[in-house]
Amino acid sequence: MVLGDSLSAGYGLPADAAFPARLGQALQAKGIAAEVANAGVSGDTASGGLGRLDWSVPEGTEAVILELGANDALRGVDPKLTRAALEAIVQRLKHRRIAVLLAGMRAPRNMGTDYVQAFDVIFPSLASSYALILYPFFLEGVAADPKLNLPDGLHPTAAGIDAIVKNIMPKVEELIARVRAARAS
């Protein structure tokens, strides 16, 4: 399950080009049988994701890629609120024994040094506190590359999504290994 915002939902792309669909295809190509469901909602914040967590992540879900926070940063939401919402999501998923891969986000640099510092620490701090798998920046290698983003400069093209899938794959494989280890214990 990918619980996220427009970056997961596939804003501006056909459904089969969205991150969860492309990730599922890449896993199949590696011989890994995994169903990757898309619980991305365009415009969602961390608080919005928390509000819809229970119906977005159904019983039987074994792993979640948590990709929220971009809209919080773009809107200048207080990083304390973003952290509290993400932490509540993580706690609830952990309580349900769902493995979590936390996809980090970085604040736009034009938000000012204080905001950037307060926001950017959220993801590594949560990962450390809850022993989560961390992919430090979901848009690594894609952000600010006009060839990999739609004209809005914020949302990846299909090629940008493919780059994200390639970059995050080692962490996804680590997540799958955790799920398999939990099944075996």
Task: Check pLDDT > 90 for residue 185.
Answer: no
pTM, two decimals, is: 0.96
The pLDDT of residue 60 is 94
Q: Which are the catalytic amino acids? A: 6, 152, 155
Distant-in-sequence, close-in-space partners of 132: CB < 8 Å, separation ≥ 6: 90, 100, 101, 102, 126
Residue 88 pLDDT: 98
Q: What is the pLDDT of residue 124?
A: 98
Determine the structural domain holding residue 34 and report its residue range: 2-184
Q: How far apart are CA 63 and CA 133, in angstroms?
A: 11
Give the tens place of pLDDT for each residue, 106-124: 999 999 999 999 999 999 9
Q: Contact at 8 Å (CB) between 104 and 137?
A: yes
- CATH at 140: 3.40.50.1110
Give the number of domains in the chain: 1
pLDDT in tens, 75-91: 999 999 999 999 999 99
Q: Can you say whether the dihedral through the CA atoms of 157, 163, 166, 168 is positive or negative?
A: negative
